[in-house]
Structure 1
Amino acid sequence: MLLCLCTAPSSAQAQLDIPDVQGPSGASQVEAGVELLREGRPADAAALLRSALDADSALVSPAHGAAAYWLGRAYQQADQPEKARSAWRTGLRTLWNVGRFDARLADAYLRRLTPEQLRGERLYAVDVYRSLLGRVGTDTSEAMRSLSRRRVAQMAPLMADSALARVIQQDRSTAPAEWTFEPDAGAALVEWWRGLDPLPATDANERLEEHLTRLVRVRQNFACAERVSAIDDRGLVHLRLGSPYKQRSLNYEDGEFFKEVYRFGVNVPPSSFPKSEIWLYTHIDESGFYLFAEESTSDCFRQAKANELMPRYLTRQRADTERGLNIAYSALMAMRAIYRELALFHINFSTRYSKIANYASWQEMQATAARAAERSGGGSGSAGQRSTKVGAGVGQTRRVFSNPSMGYDYPTRFVSRMVTRAEREDREAVERREEAMPRQHTALLDETARLPVSVRTARFLDPDGTTRTEVYWGVPADRLRLGEAGAPASSLIAVSAAQYDDEHRLLQRTRGRYPVEVQTGTDTRMIVPSPLTLEGATGRYHLGLQWGQYQLWASDSPSEGKRMGPKRRVATARVDSLEPLRAEGPGVEMSDVKVLTLPDTSAQSLARPAEQATPYPFRTLTGDTPLLLSFELYHLAYGADDRTRYSIAYEAKGETKRGWTKLFRGTDTQRTSTEMTMAGTDRRTTEAILLDLSEIQRDEPQDVRVTVRVTDEVTGATVSRDIEFVLRPRAAEGTQ
């Protein structure tokens, strides 16, 4: 007898104890979801993966990684981009909050960021991007290698060869699809970005934030699936240099262009002229212009030269046959239209356009004169002139001319010469641009007036064996005015100096605030505050410096003093790859040369020069600027008499357009000896030399290099330091 239980269970039946049945694990659900995606069933995959994530929101499969990544992929395949973006964003934050990270999930989140979303998640997105870069080279899976190649290909144009060599194992010229990575590539990338931070007064890396903002923008506007970088050449230039000063699509195909170029017998369809753009970065350098042309096989744009804006069919060298002349005439008219457009945007194309336009006008004038002569039955033109009728069909025929005696060849030869000239001049323009344009440019300070700060640094060895760095800086008082000339001005200069280790991690930061009152009339003072000091260096280190000038306004209550107004000017500087001074012997060690100036050269100042002198951070000076060069010596050796014995020599050279010349030969005055021998009882000592340049004869600026060389006469060890200036002619006034 068969018993069929086909109805729903009653409530009593539902309360019966049923043995637990072990469901599938989260990892197996992820594996099944991935398999469903491969089978083209995204809806089923999404349902399964969603169920797995409901049970464990931070689910990560050992074989396939984060479940949230695959859920986003399922939504993406199901044409639900908003759900995909939400799955990646939520999944990444969930993992982030529990201290876990999935590179593909992070990459998917970053790739789907919009500019609007980035504004609300800027700091978080930067942390994700930095973490993603830090994993380059640590994962050898094919998926991660592909991801890493894309990210590094986006950055490579910004990096110097030496920096890129720490990341990829091949040469820069190797195709990115073939790149393999150094084991510590990620650490090198993170370190490189830390070294680009332009504002050391803040904890954020504004340059990295700017780069990520550009990256989101170029992904939206200049995507190119065919490239390893996933962006075309326009996007790479935008990542390097930011938004151009001008960006124009070239538009030269008007009615005249169609009439004169697309002619019978000339096998040139409109599609053979690529879409093209010109970008101008002349706010960075006059050589900063870029031409882009659309590739024939995709919608991506590549960097191009002027000849590449025309089909190769027109730029090919032709014989003086009727067919060759017919094609050359169309090429001439295409050149005229293209260069007329280019000359509107950059002077580099103006001479070429003028040459082409003049030649085309001559051809048109000869044709007009020939038609008039035919109607009137007159002569056939000037002596030595030849002409050929080209083309066929109503409105399609043209007559082209040559007159060697007047310097005019047929269009075949003229076009060939212009193609050759364009190739040469464009190659030279690219060389000039590569020399002048930076690999990467930040626009963070473009809208802020610059504070004309001069700065020098000097390293000294402290008794505990660590290196102390002094940062001394200054600015001409008259350059601090914020209002009308001649009016008194009150402002405050805030300065921040940050010291980083060899991998650009912040070690310490020191700050200073300096109220400044600029006097009425001409204020010739040099404002030079006390130096900033950074201590404790034991390994290679870097410095980042930032200044801001704030306007000071009078408060309503005199007892409150002045209140700080807006920031009006900024300045930044970097000093990279400083080595600590050697903490121990053997061999003499020397501090950097510190440059000071004396208020005057009176007997009182000369009696105790080190006490009267003040730091002089400026690069330019006149011959009557009294300079004191101060430095310290360490690890001097004792002789048999328990005394140290050392010699100090200095040499000053001046470089003009004629080359280097010695400024001092032999003993000069009592203030400028070229060599002296000293003795003492201490292994470390402080020395100072008064440098007098007043007797130097000069009629043009000179780059002056002063070399101070110390020899320990006991051991024979030698150490030297250089300091450089620009010495202005006697007629020049002012110092900075």
Structure 2
Amino acid sequence: MGRWQFAGALVALLLAAGKVKGQSQDSLQLVQAFQAYQTGRYEVAAAILQPLFEEQPVFQIRPIEGSVAYWLGAAYQAQGAIEEALNTWQQGVHSALTQGAVDVLATDAYVETVFRQACSERFAEAALFYELLLRIAGTPMLSDELQRLRRHVARMIFLLPDVLQQRIWTRERRFLPDAGARLMQWWAQQDPLPATPLNERIVEHLQRVAYAEQHYASDRTESGLDERGIVYVRLGPPSRIKKLDFYSRELQEALRRLRRSSGNALIVSESDFAPGELWLYDRSVPGGPYYFLFVYDGNMYRQGGVLDLIPPHLRVGLDGDTGRGGAKIDVLLEVLRAVYRQLAPYHLDFSDRYIRVDNYLGQLEEIRIQLERNIGGELYTQDKRSDNSALVQQEGTPFTTEGTPDVFLRSLLAETEREDALNRAEMAARIPRQQSRWLDQKPRLPVVARVARFLRSDGFTENLIYWAAPVGALLQDLEDSEKPGDFLIDLQVVRQKTDYRVAYRTSQLYRIPSRLSEQGPVIPTRSVTVPADTGVYHIALQWDQYTLAQREGKWQAGEHLKTSVARFDSLRALRADPAVLEMSDLLPLWYDPSASDTLPGRPYPFTRLSPDVPLALYFEVYHLSFGPDDRTRYEVAYEVRRREDGGLLRRDREVQTRSSTVYEGTSRTAREYVVLDLRAWERAKDLEVVVRVRDLVSGQEVSRSIRFEVVRS
């Protein structure tokens, strides 16, 4: 008797014995429906459950795990009524939420089915339901509920940094108390479009999981996926998949040739070769291009090396001094040539080794032909050594450049094992844990942005976000017929708390005129201010470019064209304590002494600059101390650290320039700027500017820094 049948029988016995108090009729109906479901009578189960569902969708009894809503949905699903099943689970989840609970089984079933069936109109709600499941990780739940939650986490845990993985669960897969909060915080960080209520990265993840479950499943892993499925969930679909079939016509012909020439009786059949797949990722994924080699080990596909593709019986007993060992060496050389022949077009790691083994076997064939010509017939060897080994040791016969076949083979196998291990280690360090391609669905608007924090008089921090974009980027990828007169850029700004919950939203609309080229190569710098609380916070930005359309006499957003996003994580509010010297961030300016506003120029958001840019750095100092004369006295020092081109055949060199000035004032807040003449640093590749302020009255010191890449004009 299975676990579920046993549960149904136990509940029936408890009811008969009067051990289940209250709602006995509902309990009996649930047991009857449960037993009908277990025996495949799904219509009967649905008919029994439907009236009970209308009254109490979340009703359930122990030891049956699952609510009325879950089992009714399961009965509908078993009959192929997917929409009815989804609607039932959806209502059950919402009913449980009104009672402050999460119906784990119904929630899990809804999420799994929505993405398995690709019900795109339900993706948004399914993603929210997925978050419900993760939030309760670490809280008490029934065994079947825990099993389903573990499966979801097992399908994403490999995306997380190692340190975070250790804070989710133990080695025994027991969730730690705050696992749910940590999982939700990590997912919030991955949100590619922070201005939308939906976390699109979760949708992308669940789509990948559903595909991997259908194509790369394994019943031997906690996640239910083999190692191909894990890579698919991490990085998405590869650029190319090459299914490997080494038992080719070339190999079969080579083996027949060996049998004819030496009587080699070693048989190699197609079934001796493990199935393999080569996955290729191009440069669209950071760190690319790179490859994954998967080999079927009899149970599942695992990531492996070239030697894992070789039939096991060929990898042992490679003794060139025995007849069978020599025969294996001859066959293995041909097998390696066949393996590398298939792999060679896809990576230099393989092509170099293919050339080596092919050249070696080619030399052996030339020696064979020469000897047969000398003796006037086919060459047969009667000793116990490898035919090829005997071949290259015939008296008066020229040696190959790499020695006898057993020597060459040992060298090649050692090189293969060593290079494969090095390549796997290198790729493991280079390949990202996970890669989202959600933003690849729309053309990107290359916006550049910076943020500078300032302290307001009320003690709160204000964030000045300033940004710009190249003019040409607005028109790029658009056909002439599609280029509108004006554009509309919608900027959405979200400030998030330490745990990435949304604390503040604001938006700005910018109308970008059609005659942009007359204003310069970039959109004039725009800015927006965002207030912040104390402590650590995060700011996410999203720009959306639209055509500007006129409808019913009003201008409004038309077709959506491009998107850009930026994040500033782990910002810390400036210190409001008046006893502690504090300083704003450095605000780079395109210096203009004639500027009429409070700043001597306009903000410069770019990370690159040329020597002809008139650069100034504006900053504010807070909480200066008064001296005995009721005046402040402070020193401003700046240091420019730059890396200069050392010229041909010389290393780059690090150069530092320092300067300082002492100021006095009558206010505890100072507003200063320094102007940098970059023309003196024409050979610089990049530079870092550090500004230090020392309060000469209190002795306190504070500093800020900023970096740039220097380009020629």
Between the aligned partners of 2:41 and 2:269, the Cα distance in structure 1 is 49
Stretches of structure 1 lacking an aligned partner (at least 5 in a row): 1-20, 171-177, 666-673
Quote how far apart the aligned CAs of 1:159 are: 1.3
Report the 3-state secondary structure (helix = DSSP H, G, I; strand = E; otherwise coil) of the residue aligned with 1:218: helix
Q: What is the CA–CA distance in structure 2 between the aligned matches of 1:703 and 1:387, rounded to whole Å?
A: 72
Alpha-carbon contact 1:265-1:391 (below 8 Å) kept: no
Residues 256 and 233 from structure 1, CA distance in 2 versus in 1: closer, same or farther, beyond 3 angstroms?
Answer: same
Q: Is the 8 A contact 1:317 1:416 kept in 2?
A: no
What TM-score, normalized by structure 2, do the two folds share? 0.84
1:143 paired with 2:115, answer no
> When you count helix as a share of all residues, which structure comes out higher?
2
Q: Aligned residue for 2:392?
A: 401
Say which SS state the counterpart of residue 439 (structure 2) adopts. coil
SS in 1 for 2:156: helix
8 Å Cα contact 2:58/2:69 also seen in 1: no
* Cα deviation digits, residues 135-163 of structure 1 (max 9, x gap): 21112654344333322221122112233
Matches within 5 A, 1:115-130: 115-130=116-131
CA distance 1:556–1:179, change in 2 (3 Å)? closer
Q: Is the 8 A contact 1:277 1:291 kept in 2?
A: yes
Going from structure 1 to structure 2, the CA distance change for 1:312 and 1:647 (only over 3 Å counts) comes to farther
Alpha-carbon deviation of 1:488?
Answer: 10
Q: Higher mean Cα deviation, 456-465 or 91-100?
A: 91-100
Superposed counterparts of 1:707-722, under 5 Å: 707-722=690-705
Match of 1:592 in 2: 585
Cα distance change, pair 713–255 in 1 and its aligned pair in 2 (3 A): same
Spell out the pairing of 1:45-60 with structure 2 (5 A cutoff). 51=48, 54-55=51-52, 56-60=56-60
Q: Conserved in 2, the CA contact under 8 Å of 1:387 and 1:401?
A: no
Q: Secondary structure at the match of 2:278?
A: strand
The offset of 1:62, in angstroms, is: 5.3
Question: Structure 1 residues 638, 63: closer, same or farther in 2, change over 3 A?
Answer: farther
Q: Which runs of 4+ in 1 moved over 6 A?
A: 31-34, 386-392, 520-523
Shift in alpha-carbon separation, 1:561–1:137, aligned structure 2, 3 A: closer
Do 1:510 and 1:532's aligned partners in 2 also have CA atoms closer than 8 Å? Answer: no
Cross-structure match for 1:203: 197
* Closer, same or farther: CA 680–65 of 1 in aligned 2, 3 Å: farther
Q: Which position in structure 2 is the counterpart of 1:618?
A: 606
> Structure 1's 80 and 546: CA in aligned 2 closer, same or farther, altered over 3 A?
closer
Q: Which residue of 2 aligns with 1:364?
A: 365
| Matched ranges for 1:301-380 at <5 A | 301-316=301-316, 318-321=318-321, 322-375=323-376
Q: Counterpart of 2:91 in structure 1: which amino acid?
A: R
- Partners of 1:473 and 1:617 within 8 A in 2: yes
| Cα distance in 2, alignment partners of residues 90 and 644 from structure 1 | 71
Measure, in 1, the Cα distance between the counterparts of 2:23 and 2:503. 52
Question: Within 1, Cα distance between the matches of 2:293 and 2:539?
Answer: 38
CA distance in 1, matches of 2:555, 2:26: 65
CA contact (8 A) 1:85 1:112 kept: no
Give 5+ residue unaligned stretches, structure 2: 1-20, 646-650
TM superposition shift of 1:484? 8.2
Determine whether 1:253 maps to 2:247. yes
What code does the residue aligned with 1:639 have? G
Residue in structure 1 matching 2:505, options 489, 505, 509: 509
| Seq. identity, % | 30
Aligned partner of 2:217: which letter?
A
Amino acid of the structure 1 residue aligned with 2:281 = Y
Give 1:564 shift: 5.2
Map of 2:66 onto structure 1: 66
- The correspondence of residues 501-580 of structure 1 with structure 2, limited to 5 A, is 501-517=497-513, 519=515, 524-552=520-548, 565-580=558-573
Match of 2:446 among 448, 452, 476: 452
The match for 1:679 among 654, 664, 682 is: 664
* Alignment of structure 1 residues 357-506 onto 2, 5 Å: 357-375=358-376, 401=392, 405-482=399-476, 490-506=486-502
Distance 2:516 2:191 in 1: 38
Paired residue type of 1:214: R
State the partner residue of 1:164: 165
Preserved contact between residue 367 and residue 398 of structure 2 (Cα < 8 Å): no
Decide whether aligned partners of structure 1 residues 146 and 484 sit closer, same or farther in structure 2, where only a CA change above 3 A counts. closer
1:158 touches 1:240 (CA, 8 Å); kept in 2? yes
Q: How far 1:664 moved relative to its partner?
A: 1.3
The range that moved more, 410-419 or 586-595, is 410-419
Aligned length: 667
Does the 8 Å CA contact 1:324/1:412 hold for their aligned counterparts? no
Q: Residue 622 of structure 2 aligns with which residue?
A: 634
Deviations along 1:263-310, one digit per CA (max 9) or x if unpaired, are 7654755333211111111132433211111121x2x21111122111
Residues 416-465 of structure 1, C-alpha deviation per residue, up to 9 Å, x if partnerless? 22222122222222233223322111112224333222211111112222
- Distance in 2 (CA, whole Å) between partners of 1:427 and 1:240 is 21
Which residue does the alignment assign to 1:13? none
| Cα displacement (A) at 1:183 | 0.5
Do the aligned residues in 1 keep the contact of 2:532 with 2:573 (CA within 8 Å)? no
Counterpart contact for 1:118–1:125, Cα < 8 Å: no
Match of 2:277 in 1: 277
Match of 2:638 in 1: 650
TM-score by length of 1: 0.82
Letter in 2 for 1:401: V
Change (3 A) 1:408 1:595: same
* Displacement after TM superposition at 1:654 (Å): 0.8
Contact 1:468/1:534 (CA < 8 Å) preserved in 2?
A: yes
Inter-partner Cα distance in structure 2 for 1:712 and 1:520: 46
In structure 1, give the amino acid aligned to 2:189: G
Distance of 1:318 and 1:617 partners within structure 2: 65
CA RMSD of aligned residues (A): 3.6
